[in-house]
Amino acid sequence: MGRPKARVSMADVARLAGVSSQTVSRVSTGHPGVVGSTRQQVLDAMKELGYRPNSAARALKSGQFRTIGVILFTLSTTGNSRTLEAIATHAALEGYAITLIPVAVPTQDSVLGAFTRLGELAVDGVIVIMEVHLLDSATVTLPPHVQVVVVDSDAGDRYTVVDTDQADGARQAVTHLLDLGHRTVWHVTGPEESFAGERRAQAWRDTLTAAGREVPPPLRGDWSAESGYRAGLRLADEPDCTAVFAANDQMALGVLRALHERGRAVPAQISVVGFDDIPESGSFIPPLTTVHQDFAEVGRHCVQGILRQIEHGETEHGTTLVPTRLVVRASTAPPRPA
């Protein structure tokens, strides 16, 4: 296909339509003050030439890129990829594009690197999906006019933060098990760098304490099913253990397998609750009782929050918590009478 010309500019359209390029600009941006017949001529010319506005020129002129950057460490956790998807969808709805800024390793340095690169990137705002104690605001210099929204953090005083209500979710999980009659609840935690994990663990501890129950030693996991399996093997050896709260569904899956291999029936002998409600959790053996996270809602709030800052200049920080909901399936039951 012999391409007629590398790129078609407003000037080309203007020439063909017999108007000035400014009139083309007015048509292109939908400004008023162009009479119908002229507008139509311009539109025809645009179509004939296959005109597309040059976004670089627009951005240069307006200082706005209509783009949101998303910094994240990994897409391999359900939450991150689902949140990103929701962000992308809502941003597209508002006419914003998403630029992905992957950070190879979750260290302070690489996050700093991402923020630095950001200065050169064409973004109006940034959403950070990451544990934020990695960000030491004192050493990070954000380019001016770049707004930030953070997921999975407690930095609500410095940034706008959106997150799932981790604490309430954990509380619901533990309360559900206590209500069933379990004396206490064991916990398989996330990795210690994770704020989400930390908060789930804290709420687990608080709920038990508030109910006057003993707090068993937590078992440290790393979100992976494999780590859940290792924890499960140890739990299977705890004669007193009748209820487990795993900090995510993958680890719960590992716990289920360990208990199954050790011949500990779920839920007859031991009840298990997860966190996330990944699509597969309803197909575990047995189907998992878990805490549902609304990632779509988190993504929606992120975009909403960043756009409020970008477009309306609002800089009021604060934390938005998205509610969770316990989904009761078949992995929990009252404890077997001793």
Partner DNA sequence: TCGGCCAATGTTTACGTAAACATGGCCGCC
Partner DNA sequence: GGCGGCCATGTTTACGTAAACATTGGCCGA
Work out how close the CB of 94 gets to DNA at its nearest, in angstroms, rounded to a whole number: 17
Looking at 21-29, 131-139, 245-253, 277-285, which segment touches DNA (CB under 7 A)?
A: 21-29
Q: Does 47 bind a copy of itself (CB under 8 A)?
A: no
Q: Does 55 bind a copy of itself (CB under 8 A)?
A: yes
Residue 315 contact among DNA, a copy of itself, none, beta carbon within 5 to 8 Å by kind: none
Q: Which of 10, 45, 46, 84 binds a copy of itself (CB under 8 A)?
A: 84
Can you read off the two tokens belonging to residue 85?
Answer: 């998807």
Q: Does 327 bind a copy of itself (CB under 8 A)?
A: no
Which CB atom, from 59 or from 233, has the smaller least distance to DNA?
59
Other C-beta atoms within 10 Å of 210: how many?
A: 11
Work out how close the CB of 202 gets to a copy of itself at its nearest, in angstroms, rounded to a whole number: 26
Q: Which of 129, 284, 292, 303 binds a copy of itself (CB under 8 A)?
A: 284
Which CB atom, from 121 or from 215, has the smaller least distance to DNA?
121
The burial class, CB within 10 Å (0-12 / 13-18 / 19+), for 142 is middle
Residue written as token pair 């407003």: 10
- Beta bridge partners of residue 290, listed in sequence order: 274, 327
Alpha-helical regions (H) of the chain? 10-17, 21-29, 36-49, 55-62, 78-93, 108-120, 166-179, 195-210, 225-236, 249-261, 295-312
- Residues 93-152 binding a copy of itself (CB under 8 A) are 97-102, 104, 119-122, 141, 143-145
Q: Does 158 bind a copy of itself (CB under 8 A)?
A: no
SS3 for 262-290, per residue? Answer: CCCCCCCCCEEEEEECCHHHHHCCCCCEE
The DSSP code for 217 is P
Interface residues with DNA (CB under 7 A)?
Answer: 7, 9-11, 18-23, 25-26, 28-29, 31-35, 37-39, 51, 53-54, 57-58, 60-62
